[in-house]
Structure 1
Amino acid sequence: MILNILYIVVGIILVVWGADKLTGGASDLASRMGVPQIIIGLTIVAIGTSMPEFSVSLLSALNGSAGLAVGNVVGSNIFNTLLIVGAAAAVAPMEIQKSTVRKDMPWTILASVFLIALGADGEISRLDAVVLIAALCAFMVITLQTARKGMKAAKNNNNETTPHASADGADNSAPSENAPKKSTPVWLSIGFVIIGLACLIFGSQLFVNAATSVAKTLHVSDAVIGLTIVAGGTSLPELATSVVAALKGRSGIAIGNVIGSNIMNILLILGVTGTITPLSMQGITPIDLATMGGSILILWLFTFTKYRVERWEGWALLALFAAYMAWLLANI
């Protein structure tokens, strides 16, 4: 048991570190190829933050632990919405952009509804997985189109307000903030991608095997382990990122990180994993799914009118998370 717990800790460290290096290396390579930073953020970085959940869920499903795979996704979304947003808002009230509340959160709610509806028969079939991937494609297309429109609008505004040279020929414009920065060598970026991928694969395998062994030793289902230990471990990057962002007054990053991760967890992870192998919903109860869907709905209602999550609302989310964890432990 002690050795398996050690393997779980080491696996989490490898997965989190590997995801960070893989994302960083891929972002550097994309920048070199001229891909705009906004596109990199909406694709590579967004997917990169979900790589721990993706690698763990995929290997769990391939190893025959579908309950662990689905439990990881459902549990991670609950951790993200109740624990991470709750903790960040309890630290400092969170200001949220209108576009996040009006456009992004409804996508998270829709993704949750898809999972609940498609899994009602007790399985995420390959056809169900294709539906999730189609929804992911629609989300990415709409998001990228919105980003491009925003870039064009910003460019037009900059052109209209660009200072002209003075009469004596001097340029009065401020120094550019986008001056070239020292870039990472190509060989190092490629190395980060390879090393990060290797750590993700090895760390996930170590993590899944150890978590499965712990579940068997404690005589609990893979789903419960996925909803608790695995979900908590793979959500650590989002927790650290969001709390630090909230402390620095960057609440937009904190909430955007959570919303994006929730969408990717369902549409990308279960979509790709379910396409490879059908996923059983065994061990995932209506309470688990209701908590997942209800938590994001509550967060959306908190923010719908004032675009802000107050401290008391953060504590309310934390109280709901504690109640859910108590229910899980009571029903093991």
Structure 2
Amino acid sequence: MIIYIAVLVIGFIALIKGADWFVKGSSDIAKNLRIPSVIIGLTIVALGTSAPELAVSVAAAIQGANEISVSNVVGSNIFNLMVVLGICASIHPLEVDKKILKRDMPVSILATIVTLGFCVEYPLLQKIQLSRLRVTDEAGMIHRWLGVALIISFAIYLYLLICDARKNPIEEDDVQYLPIWKCLVLAIVGLVLIIGGGQAVVNGAREIARMAGMSETLIGLTIVAVGTSLPELVTSIVASQKGETGLAIGNAVGSNIFNLLLILGLSGTIHPMTVNLATIIDIIVLILSSIMTLIYARTSARINRPEGLSMVILYVIYVVYAILR
């Protein structure tokens, strides 16, 4: 137990330092290339911080551990919205870019709804006796064709982001930034620390959870999902503190789109995955969380402190429910 606690501490230190360097390197790359920081947040930073989810979900899919693979993606997305954005907004009100409101948040919600609609097997649900309905009952499947469709959707989305970045470069200024090669080194070293630290935290927390007798689904939804989302959390907090609110919210929203379209798509393409009723409920929770976040953001083009605090509280309630069910 002491060894696992030590691994947790080392992992957290690596996460914090790595996030600081990664944000600095990424933001300076954006400014050198005159790319808006929100685009960097939606692409490079989102992909980088989603690397742990990619590694865990794909590995789980190859090994046939469907519950961890799917619940990791769904749990991570809920965490990104309710905790990452919630804590960042509690620290500093998050100004939300209009393009995120009109394009990226709706894309995330629509993709989640479509995934839910196509993975649920309605005839299978009808066979389940309502009087004996259990959250562990099989309720659907993510087929290979759905996985391929998600990957294609991700490619189209990424292409649109690249086109937007080329059409809307930021204006030149007189501020001197680090040379491109130094920014790249800083970002890469930071990313390595983030991924390594995230894996250390996940492995340590997972072993401790197993010692406590937690189920695989619950571990995937809570410990693994939270652990693999720590890069998004730490990176967004550091970005918010540095005044890079566009990068912070772009990271969280972009990571959700990456997780759903790319990671879940790859996992489903590698190995078709069964979905139980508990996961269906969690996907519905994700949709409701996404809609609530969009409503918060649209009220005044930002998420303020009270709204951020309410998001964190609701997440705690949701985790308690997930543990008790």
TM above 0.5, yes or no, is yes
Q: Check whether the contact 1:57–1:269 (CA below 8 A) recurs between aligned residues.
A: yes
Question: 1:153-204 CA distances to partner (integer Å, 9 max, x unpaired)?
Answer: x57xx7xxxxxxxxxxxxxxxxx63767445489x95xx9799779969985
Relative to structure 1, is the Cα distance of residues 217 and 59 closer, same or farther in structure 2, using a 3 angstrom cutoff? same
Task: Map residues 53-92 of structure 1 onto 2, 5 A cutoff.
Answer: 53-92=53-92
Give structure 1 stretches of 5+ with no counterpart: 159-175
Question: 1:9-52 CA distances to partner (integer Å, 9 max, x unpaired)?
Answer: 77788899899999999999x99xx9875676654333112101
Corresponding position of 1:165: none
1:309 has 2:306 as partner: no
Corresponding position of 1:264: 258
User: 3-state SS of the aligned residue for 1:285?
Assistant: helix
Q: Check whether the contact 1:62–1:277 (CA below 8 A) recurs between aligned residues.
A: yes
1:293 has 2:311 as partner: no
Question: 1:114-159 CA distances to partner (integer Å, 9 max, x unpaired)?
Answer: 33223213221111101111111121122222222212xx57xx7x
- Cα RMSD (Å) of the superposition? 3.8
Relative to structure 1, is the Cα distance of residues 243 and 8 closer, same or farther in structure 2, using a 3 angstrom cutoff? closer
Corresponding position of 1:135: 153
Task: Map residues 6-85 of structure 1 onto 2, 5 A cutoff.
Answer: 42-85=42-85
Q: Check whether the contact 2:240–2:248 (CA below 8 A) recurs between aligned residues.
A: yes
Return the letter of the residue paired with 1:127.
W
- How far, CA to CA, are the matches of 1:226 and 1:9 in structure 2? 21
1:221 has 2:241 as partner: no
- How far, CA to CA, are the matches of 2:253 and 2:297 in structure 1? 13
Shift of 1:233: 0.8
- How far, CA to CA, are the matches of 2:305 and 2:23 in structure 1? 32
1:147 has 2:165 as partner: yes
Return the letter of the residue paired with 1:266.
L
Task: Map residues 139-218 of structure 1 onto 2, 5 A cutoff.
Answer: 139-151=157-169, 177=174, 181-182=178-179, 184=181, 217-218=211-212
1:231 has 2:249 as partner: no
- How far, CA to CA, are the matches of 1:215 and 1:53 in structure 2? 19
User: 3-state SS of the aligned residue for 2:168?
Assistant: helix
- How far, CA to CA, are the matches of 2:277 and 2:5 in structure 1? 22
Corresponding position of 1:252: 246
- How far, CA to CA, are the matches of 1:319 and 1:201 in structure 2? 29
Return the letter of the residue paired with 1:177.
D
- How far, CA to CA, are the matches of 1:283 and 1:6 in structure 2? 36
- How far, CA to CA, are the matches of 1:256 and 1:3 in structure 2? 36
Relative to structure 1, is the Cα distance of residues 252 and 220 closer, same or farther in structure 2, using a 3 angstrom cutoff? same
Which piece of structure 1 moves more, 214-223 or 103-112?
214-223
Corresponding position of 2:272: 278
Q: Check whether the contact 2:71–2:279 (CA below 8 A) recurs between aligned residues.
A: no
Q: Check whether the contact 2:7–2:201 (CA below 8 A) recurs between aligned residues.
A: yes
Shift of 1:113: 1.2
Shift of 1:65: 1.5
Q: Check whether the contact 1:71–1:231 (CA below 8 A) recurs between aligned residues.
A: yes
- How far, CA to CA, are the matches of 1:87 and 1:98 in structure 2? 21
- How far, CA to CA, are the matches of 1:129 and 1:222 in structure 2? 23
Q: Check whether the contact 1:133–1:272 (CA below 8 A) recurs between aligned residues.
A: yes
Question: 1:261-283 CA distances to partner (integer Å, 9 max, x unpaired)?
Answer: 11101111111122112222236
Return the letter of the residue paired with 1:247.
Q
Relative to structure 1, is the Cα distance of residues 7 and 61 closer, same or farther in structure 2, using a 3 angstrom cutoff? farther
Return the letter of the residue paired with 1:256.
G
- How far, CA to CA, are the matches of 2:260 and 2:19 in structure 1? 18
Relative to structure 1, is the Cα distance of residues 283 and 67 closer, same or farther in structure 2, using a 3 angstrom cutoff? farther
User: 3-state SS of the aligned residue for 1:177?
Assistant: coil
Name the TM-score, length of structure 1 as normaliser: 0.75
Name the TM-score, length of structure 2 as normaliser: 0.76
- How far, CA to CA, are the matches of 1:260 and 1:240 in structure 2? 15
- How far, CA to CA, are the matches of 1:74 and 1:124 in structure 2? 13
Find the structure with the greater CA-based Rg: 1
User: 3-state SS of the aligned residue for 2:300?
Assistant: coil
Return the letter of the residue paired with 1:50.
S
User: 3-state SS of the aligned residue for 2:221?
Assistant: helix
Q: Check whether the contact 1:23–1:193 (CA below 8 A) recurs between aligned residues.
A: no
Q: Check whether the contact 1:22–1:196 (CA below 8 A) recurs between aligned residues.
A: yes
Relative to structure 1, is the Cα distance of residues 181 and 327 closer, same or farther in structure 2, using a 3 angstrom cutoff? closer
Relative to structure 1, is the Cα distance of residues 264 and 95 closer, same or farther in structure 2, using a 3 angstrom cutoff? same
